[in-house]
Amino acid sequence: MPSTPGPNALPRTGSARTVPKFASIGSPYFGILLAFMAVVLILSNIGASKGVAIGPIITDGGFFLFPLAYILGDVISEVYGFKVARKAIITTFALSVFASLCYWIIIALPGFDDEFGSTKQSALEGALGPVPQIVLASLLAFLAGQTINSWILVKMKARTGEKSLWARIMSSSVAGEFVDTLIFCSIAASVIGINDFAGFVNYVVVGFVYKTLVEFLFVPVTSLVIGYIKKREPSYTA
């Protein structure tokens, strides 16, 4: 009597596709990743309101934080799948929009009319005033970039199964980061004071190369985190 193939067996046809394994979101790990992702994005949006010039390099104050959001997106996509990653993206941006509304209310509230109060008000307006436009740029860019990043990673996992994790992370990162950087820089450049074409090109190229390189350098760490969570997620190891 022929044996019945297991749920993770490869199909007997010529197709290389497998059924990718994903965990459910019942454990605490997803909540921790989602909270970390939201905090990183909110802080990145605040930092992005400041233009930064390091020699000939033009970037913004959120440059060292934002790649972490994509690394967390890779972890969520690999462990929990595209649908859960999409929910994480939407939730993260809902929280980011909420933070932006809070900044607007804080700035609009009447403050003390002495010198200290006026100085404080000007500082808040200068630091947090541009953030709503930065949030719009980040919303459109991250929504598009992360969706592409997650979709490519999950599609590749359907072909390779648990193998070639590094290739999934790197390939999806290149596509996602390019779309993200182009959209974000197009909207945010004027907010941080970049008004000429040469400066804009510098901003886009530096942002894309930097964020992609950071993700590439962190592939070993990302892989270790993914492996750690996979082993401890009951619904993934079951």
Residue range 107-164, pLDDT digits in tens: 889 989 898 989 988 888 877 776 677 778 877 888 899 999 999 999 999 998 888 8
pLDDT digits (tens, 9 = 90+) for 30-49: 999 999 999 998 888 888 77
Rounded Cα distance, 93 and 45, in Å: 11
**Is the confidence at residue 8, as pLDDT, over 80?**
no
DSSP 3-state assignment of 108? helix
Rounded Cα distance, 98 and 91, in Å: 11
DSSP 3-state assignment of 199? helix
Q: Identify the CA nearest to 48 among candidates 213, 181, 174, 148.
A: 181
DSSP H stretches of helix in 109-218: 115-128, 131-160, 165-188, 197-217
Beta strand segments in 132-171, E: none
Average pLDDT value for the chain: 84
